[in-house]
Amino acid sequence: MKLIASLIISVVVAFLNPSEASAHAELINSDPAAGAVLTNWPTSISLTFNEELKSIGSEKGNFVVVNNAVGDQVSADDEKLEGSTIKVSLDQNTVEGPVLVYYRVISADGHAVEGEYAFKFGKESITAEGVQSTEKSKYPIGIYLASALFITTSLFFGIYAYRRRNRA
C-alpha cells in the first residue's frame, strides 16, 4: 500500500512541477503587437524578451518566421539580435487576413524558447487552414490533469479508509 501511495505522490509531483523552467526568456513586447489590426503592411517585426538572447556559434538558433493568411512566408532570412531583441525584415504582402508570427530564440541559460502569436492585416478576407488567432489558456493541461488525479486519488483513499474503518 505504501508503494502505491508513493507512486501516486510521484505522479502528482511530476505534473505539478512541469519540466519547463520559468527562468527561460518570455516575450514581453512585439511590434506589431499580438492581436493588432494593421492597415499598412510593416517593413519589419521586432520581438523583445525579458532577458538577453544568446547566439550559439555559427548555428542559427534564433529566428522569426512570418506567414501571411494564405500560408506564404513573408519574412526575410536576416534576423538581427540586439540584447534582448530580435528583428527581422518583411517582404511586401498584399494578402489581407491573419498573420502568424512564429519565433524560436535561445535564452540566456542556453535553452531554446519557441512561441507564436498573430496579428491581422487588412480586412481578414482570406484565411489559410491552421492560421487562427486563438487565445491560449493561462494554465497548462498538466495542472488540470494533476488536479483530476489528486481528486480521484483523494476519493479512492477516502472510500478505502471509510470501508476499512467500518469493517473493524
**pLDDT score for 161:** 85
**pLDDT score for 21:** 47
What is the CATH code for 22-138? 2.60.40.1220
What are the cell numbers at 96? 489581407
Quote the pTM value. 0.60
**pLDDT score for 45:** 94
Residues contacting residue 10 through CB under 8 Å, at least 6 positions apart:
none
Quote the DSSP letter at residue 59: B
Quote the CA–CA distance of 125 and 12 in Å, as a whole number: 46
Which pLDDT tens digit goes with each residue over 53-91? 888 777 778 899 999 999 999 999 898 989 889 999 999
Which pLDDT tens digit goes with each residue over 119-129? 999 875 445 55
| Positions of the chain with pLDDT lower than 70, given as ranges | 1-23, 124-139, 168
Pairing of strands 112-121, 37-38: parallel
